[in-house]
Amino acid sequence: MAIIIALIIGLVIIAVIANILQQQKEKQDAERRQEMVKYKTIVEDTELIIANDANVPITRNGFIILHRRVLYALKKMNSTTPGNKDIHARIKDCTGKIEASDFRVLDAATLKIPEAEKPLIALIQGIKKYRVILRSEHTKGNLTAPAFMEEDKKIELLQLRINVESQMRRGSKAKANGMTGSARQYYEKALATLNAQTYSNDYIAAAKQKATKALADIASQMSAARSVKEETDEDGDNLDALFAPKKKW
């Protein structure tokens, strides 16, 4: 009887241990899947920026930063689930691209700002995502402060150009359509944005000059329009006086 009880207790202990081990295995598998999802997301999001359908002006150094980010995530995926041939192949391919450094580089200083709304929005969104990645890599210590500042400064100036030139384009269109009040507001916003910058360069100086001249032209145009209106109103008053019925005394 004692043997049977001992066997039952032993089986219960084995079942409990097996259950604990199973739970630990399931927990580890869940954590492994979460890790894989996290690094897969990093790879996919970064590769979208690398594909650069929005024509974000990324330098050669910028592309190397992006590819190293992908390589890091792929290596983490490989260590999480070793033996995956697809991941091995992608690691080799990514390493080769970094070594070759043959990328389609765009210059932020000479990039033409899209006039159509859809590509302009795509460019703005692409720039924001790229800057987030740069900050993330800098925070992780994967990007030195000078390299980060160099890349980020170029993108920051491009965002300024997009903002200012979009406002001035709207101002120009409003002026051409006779909407001088709206045109003045657009140019004033552009000039306020430029004046808010804590530094200056050739672009900012030239843009300020352009916005100031446009505002002066608009002010002159509005002044001339007011003069014409006043003269018209005065002539109207004189005519009204001439044709007004005479009072009988």
Please state the three-class secondary structure of the chain as a single string.
CHHHHHHHHHHHHHHHHHHHHHHHHHHHHHHHHHHHHHHHHHHHHHHHHHHCCCCCCCCHHHHHHHHHHHHHHHHHHHHHCCCCHHHHHHHHHHHHHHHHCCCCCCCCCCCCCCCCHHHHHHHHHHHHHHHHHHHHHHHCCCCCHHHHHHHHHHHHHHHHHHHHHHHHHHHHHHHHCCCHHHHHHHHHHHHHHHHCCCCCCHHHHHHHHHHHHHHHHHHHHHHHHHHHHHHHHHHHHHHHHHHCCCCCC
How far apart (Å, rounded) are the C-alpha atoms in residues 114 and 117?
8
pLDDT score for 189:
94
- 120 CB-near residues (< 8 Å, 6+ apart): 113, 114, 162, 166
Q: Where are the domains of the chain?
A: 27-197
What pTM was computed for the model? 0.74
Q: Smallest Cα–Cα separation from 128: which of 97, 94, 99, 162?
A: 162
pLDDT score for 239:
47
CA 110 to chain centre: 18
Q: Smallest Cα–Cα separation from 60: which of 87, 32, 100, 29?
A: 100
- The mean per-residue pLDDT over the stretch 46-56 comes to 91
Task: Tell me the per-residue pLDDT of 142-177, one tens digit each, with 9 for 90 and over.
Answer: 888 998 898 888 888 999 999 999 999 999 999 889
Q: 72 and 109 in contact (C-beta within 8 Å)?
A: no
Task: Tell me the per-residue pLDDT of 128-150, one tens digit each, with 9 for 90 and over.
Answer: 999 999 999 999 888 889 988 98
pLDDT score for 247:
52
pLDDT score for 51:
92
Task: Tell me the per-residue pLDDT of 15-41, one tens digit each, with 9 for 90 and over.
Answer: 777 777 777 776 777 777 888 889 999
Task: Tell me the per-residue pLDDT of 201-249, one tens digit each, with 9 for 90 and over.
Answer: 899 999 999 999 999 998 888 777 666 555 555 555 554 555 455 554 4
pLDDT score for 249:
43
More confident residue, 221 or 73: 73
- The mean per-residue pLDDT over the stretch 66-89 comes to 91
